[in-house]
A = this chain, B = another copy of it.
Amino acid sequence: MSGSRGRVGRIRQQHEGTILKAAEHVFARSGFQGATMAEIALRAGMPKSNLHYYFGTKVEVYRAVLAHILELWLAETDRFTPDADPREALSHYIEAKMRLTAERPDASRVFANELLHGAPEIGDYLRGALRALVADKSVVIRGWIAAGRMAAVDPEHLFFSLWALTQTYADFETQVGAVLGRSNLGPADYRRATDHVLNLVLRGCGLMPPAAIEEPPCST
């Protein structure tokens, strides 16, 4: 019986999930324009008209996929607090981002595609929530720098760098794979990539990695 949103469409709930999953896959590969409702429907295992029953238009599906992704993005934030250890905070953030990239590459790709085309759907999010979040964290980082706890690095640009360094492994997996001589990246590749990014960024911020240059920084 009801509840917050209880019995409202048991089937709907489930099928919307299936559709979103299928759509993410298709949008990641073909972009918004390239994706077809027919293909999404096929992948979701239902006739096109049924897909249209759940989502009236293609943009609606697309928006839902993006909203779903933004939820993920925003979830894994805070450790950037004035009292935190900079190395700890950065390491954690990088590891989280890399894990997300490895686990949900399609999400990253849909997001990248949206940005690449001028972010027609998520411009508000970028100028709103995201900007505020970065502004907040930047204050903290500037504090760390002023206190001599890390090297002087532009905080805003540091975020751009972190995003770029991590998401490149999903967005441009083809390129990375081609250069490394594989058709796609496996867990070992992601492990190596994470180590590399950690090494580069921590050192770049004047924070030596836990176990210097030789030993893998283990941890998780």
Contacts and interface: CB of A to CB of B under 8 A. Distances in A.
Nearest to A168: B164
A161 B196 contact: yes
B116 A179 contact: no
Nearest to A214: B151
Given A116-B113, A161-B197, A126 B175 contact: yes
Assembly of this chain: how many copies? 2
Interface residues of A, number: 64
Interface in A172-200: 172, 174-176, 178-181, 192-193, 195-197, 199-200
Interface string A19-43: 0000000000111111000000000
A195 to B, nearest CB: 8
A122 to B, nearest CB: 9
A88 interface: no
A163 interface: yes
Contacts of A214: 148, 151-152, 206
A219 B213 CA distance: 12
A160 B115 CA distance: 20
B34 A179 contact: no
Interface string A70-102: 000000000000000000000000000000000
A10 interface: no
A69 B112 CA distance: 20
A117 interface: yes
24 contacts: A29-B117, A31-B33, A31-B117, A32-B34, A34-B117, A112-B172, A115-B171, A115-B172, A115-B174, A116-B116, A123-B178, A126-B179, A127-B178, A127-B181, A130-B178, A148-B214, A151-B213, A152-B199, A154-B195, A159-B179, A200-B205, A203-B203, A203-B206, A213-B220
Given A161-B165, A203-B205, 17 more contacts: A31-B117, A32-B34, A112-B172, A116-B116, A130-B175, A131-B178, A134-B179, A153-B200, A154-B192, A156-B180, A157-B192, A160-B175, A160-B176, A161-B200, A163-B168, A164-B164, A164-B172
